[in-house]
Homo-oligomer: A and B are copies of this chain.
Amino acid sequence: MSTSRFADGAAYVRGRFVPMSEATLPVTDWGFTRSDVVYDVVHVFKGGFFRLEDHLDRFEYAMAGRRIRPPEDRDAIRAILHRCVALAGLSDAYVAMVASRGRPRVAGSRRPADCDNHLICYAIPWIDVIPKDVQERGAHVWIASTPRVPDASVDPTMKNYQWNDLTSGLLEAHDEGFDTALLCDAEGFLTEGPGFNVFIVKDGRVSTPDRGALHGITRRSVLELCEELGIEAAVEPIPRAALEDCDEVFLATTAGGVMPASRIGGRILGNDRPGPISARLKQVYWAKHEEGWHRTPVLPLDADEKAAAERAA
């Protein structure tokens, strides 16, 4: 069920369910003015969340690490995510959960501990980090000159909105006519790109960076698929030079799944098309979605929720 009011998506802000056009935060919220915020994104595929509990685990890890504690507990957050998707009436969705530091209870305080932390959730139509047609031909990935922020300064495993280095890489990539970018750290090791993990394939072996990167849920799914398919896989340091002689490169993210690349920097991979292992992993990743892999069906609105949505429509 969907009402026109929620056609663009449904959100939960300040304890209320609202259409996306009303999903806002104050310009003085520290989630904005200090980017003092953690988040997670889970996707819904044909009416089911994918690895919902894994995303909730990671969201709770990030909240604990940054000491941001909204009033809603895990059960409440889970229920809110279900209700946002149901209100929006989406069978394929991009579903975000965001915990912000908020604003000080004490006027003028500059202490994080004085703030009212708060939760924002929303379900909107599915977004691909890389458009589907680009995924088909293989993404063209620029190797950015901007170094990734070191893990010691900002821990990338606590999913955050501090994208400045990633955005710099993206601007470079677009200037050069590429689709997206990959960042190395200051020591020259591969890290990640704007919104995705990276994998390389060499002689049938798959690897992904052990540093400077989110512990992606899609990354984990890829590692599980490799095990299932009998493909050797590792999480390890990957020097930039490995891009010069690897056979394939692919990207992995919730908002897109397994996304093969066909060009990396100046180099054209294979036959300028997605490589065979990348294509196989992409195919199996989605085929297993169809089979209900790690699936949690989205709960329909109950009678009260339905009545509330209809009154608001």
Residues of A with Cβ closer than 8 Å to B? 11, 13, 20, 23-28, 31-37, 39, 66-67, 98, 108, 110-113, 120, 122, 124, 127-131, 146-150, 152-154, 160-167, 170-171, 174, 180, 186, 194-195
Contacts and interface: CB of A to CB of B under 8 A. Distances in A.
Contact of A186 (B27, B110, B150): B150
A298 to B, nearest CB: 21
Given A36-B164, A112-B167, 12 more contacts: A23-B28, A24-B27, A27-B98, A27-B122, A32-B37, A35-B163, A108-B131, A110-B170, A110-B195, A149-B149, A154-B164, A162-B164
Given A23-B26, A35-B163, A149-B154, A110 B122 contact: no
Contacts of A163: 34-36
Number of copies: 2
Nearest to A113: B174
Contacts of A149: 149-150, 153-154
A161 B32 contact: yes
A120 B147 CA distance: 30
A299 B210 CA distance: 56
Contacts of A150: 147, 149-150, 153, 186
Contacts of A122: 27-28
Contact of A161 (B20, B24, B34, B128): B34
Nearest to A31: B32
A47 B122 CA distance: 43
A113 B167 CA distance: 11
Contacts of A113: 174
A171 B27 contact: no
B129 A110 contact: yes
Q: Which 9 A-B pairs have the closest CB atoms?
A: A24-B24, A34-B163, A35-B35, A149-B153, A154-B164, A153-B165, A162-B162, A23-B27, A35-B161
A121 to B, nearest CB: 9
Contact of A32 (B32, B148, B164, B166): B32
A213 B42 CA distance: 36
Contacts of A34: 161, 163, 166-167
Contacts of A170: 110-112
A127 B146 contact: no
Contacts of A130: 110
Contacts of A28: 20, 23, 122, 124
Contacts of A35: 35, 161-164
7 contacts: A24-B26, A35-B35, A35-B161, A35-B162, A149-B154, A150-B150, A154-B162
